[in-house]
Amino acid sequence: MTLGPSEYEALRELGASFARRELSNDRETHDRHPITPLWDGVLRRASELGFFAMTLGERHGGSGAGTTALVPLCEEISRVDASLAGAIFANAAAIEVVNVAAESSDCTPALESISTAGALPLAFAACSSPVESVLPSERPAGPTVAITGSARNVFLGGVARYAVIAVGGDAGRSYVFVDLHAPGVHASQPVPCIGFRACPMVDLSFDGAVAFSIGAAGGGLELFRRMAERLAPAAAAISLGIMKGCFDEAHAYAQERRQGGRRILDWPAVAAMLGEMSVDILLGETCLLAAAQGGAETDASALAVRLGEWACRATTDGVQVLGGYGYMSDYGQEKRMRDARMARQLLGMPALRRQDWFGRRWGPSLQPTGSRKGACG
């Protein structure tokens, strides 16, 4: 679904106003989770505003706005605190795997569960590369499978009711939809991570837990790729939002801070760093807007990889502009530097994504040996 300019700007303002109201004042506290309590109230209000139902069809209780709606929303939220954007993205990835599978197979049990009140957000291993798939121990009759094993680094696995999990088997990788409150499912304590700390990750373990199959057996890699193509603009938007927030903080500080009798903004080295940030942001904005309004999906995939790298560089420079203050949690730059590293991994390891993009664009898709285990997250 392509959004018109007015709809796009309305979603941008919605994300910006929500971030100002709900995220800006308590960003430092939220980032201390699990030492501090999880921001349940923020997640609840985000759910009430439909942030987790945008990619879900109207017949199942969603808005049917499509993945494009996530671009302006996630960009503005990430400008203040990318943790919530990470939660929105993980939920959207889970829904999109089901949406893609439903185009060619019966996903009624999963869709009916998702449409129940309070079912969203869904848990998903959005940073797919480190994930270990669970192994099916048996295959009962019908569309269900009993799974035994573990899945690592699952976003929202400790708070969500349902999860979309990758499993391995004789036919290859597949996806399943599992009730996390069902017998045989256990969630660990929150797993410490470098960024997105308010979007908690846990390890899930399964002991004969019954789950619904999503799509054909062995079709998990294709489901992941199609999901990743649709959500590449949203992943790019998160990195762009982090870059914008970093530039805002660095520019404001450089205007106020004085050294050697003048603003540090007037020192050539600082101006050069800010100039490079602003150029990267302008290029990212232009390309992302084109991708969100119907550009080639392969171009959006490449943009997500590149913006992830630019965000890592920009946030490192953003810390340097603030000097010693850049490493203090009061200013938010060190958090953005950590969040940028997480955002870069949202659709898998950047090196493998570059190879896959090259293969789809210029030749047969590359399948690096020893790396496929995280490819369909």
pTM of the model: 0.90
Q: Are 160 and 123 in contact (CB under 8 A)?
A: yes
Q: Is the pLDDT of residue 142 over 70?
A: no
Q: Per-residue pLDDT tens for 320-360?
A: 999 988 988 888 999 999 999 999 999 888 877 787 777 77
Lowest mean pLDDT among 32-36, 51-55, 69-73, 367-371: 367-371
Residues 172 and 190: their CA atoms lie apart, in Å, by: 29
**pLDDT the model gives residue 94:** 96
Residues 47 and 51: their CA atoms lie apart, in Å, by: 6
**pLDDT the model gives residue 170:** 74
CATH annotation of 123-217: 2.40.110.10
Q: Is the pLDDT of residue 298 over 60?
A: no
The residue with greater pLDDT, 352 or 59, is 59
**Domain ranges in the chain?**
5-114, 123-217, 222-374
Q: Enumerate residues 6+ apart whose C-beta is below 8 A from 150.
A: 132, 134, 203, 204, 205, 206
Lowest mean pLDDT among 7-11, 99-103, 307-311, 323-327: 323-327
Q: Residue 322: in which H helix or E strand, if any?
A: none
Q: Enumerate residues 6+ apart whose C-beta is below 8 A from 134.
A: 147, 148, 149, 150, 151, 165, 166, 167, 168, 206
**pLDDT the model gives residue 374:** 37
Q: Which of 198, 203, 169, 161 is nearest to 77 (CA)?
A: 198
**pLDDT the model gives residue 127:** 62
Q: Which of 243, 242, 236 is nearest to 276 (CA)?
A: 243
- Check: CATH 3.40.630.30 for 5-114? no
- Measured in degrees and rounded to the nearest 5, phi and psi for residue 202 equal -135, 165
Average pLDDT of span 103-127: 88
Residues 4 and 375: their CA atoms lie apart, in Å, by: 34
Cα dihedral across residues 278, 280, 281, 287: positive or negative: positive
Average pLDDT of span 112-117: 88
**pLDDT the model gives residue 134:** 64
**pLDDT the model gives residue 12:** 96
Query: Which CATH class for the 222-374 domain?
Result: mainly alpha
Q: How far is CA 130 from the centre of its chain?
A: 15
Residues 255 and 126: their CA atoms lie apart, in Å, by: 38
Q: Enumerate residues 6+ apart whose C-beta is below 8 A from 179.
A: 113, 161, 162, 185, 211
Q: How far is CA 160 from the centre of its chain?
A: 16
Helices (H), the chain: 5-18, 27-30, 40-48, 70-80, 82-102, 108-114, 220-256, 268-292, 297-321, 333-343, 350-362
Average pLDDT of span 140-144: 64
Length of the chain: 377
Average pLDDT of span 121-132: 65
Question: Which of the given ranges, 76-85, 133-142, 189-198, has the highest pLDDT on average?
Answer: 76-85
The residue with greater pLDDT, 371 or 195, is 195
* pLDDT tier, 169 (very low <50, low <70, confident <90, very high otherwise): confident
Q: Is the pLDDT of residue 248 over 90?
A: yes
**pLDDT the model gives residue 331:** 87
**pLDDT the model gives residue 218:** 87
Average pLDDT of span 276-282: 97
What is the end-to-end Cα distance of the chain in Å, rounded? 25
Which letter does DSSP use for residue 371 in this model?
A: -
Q: Is the pLDDT of residue 373 over 70?
A: no
Q: How far is CA 311 from CA 76, 192, 287, in A?
A: 15, 22, 15
Residues 28 and 321: their CA atoms lie apart, in Å, by: 20
Average pLDDT of span 73-96: 97
**pLDDT the model gives residue 355:** 79
DSSP codes joined into one string, 194-220: SS-TTS-EEEEEEEEEEEEEESSTT-H
Q: Identify the residue whose tokens are 């060190």.
A: 334
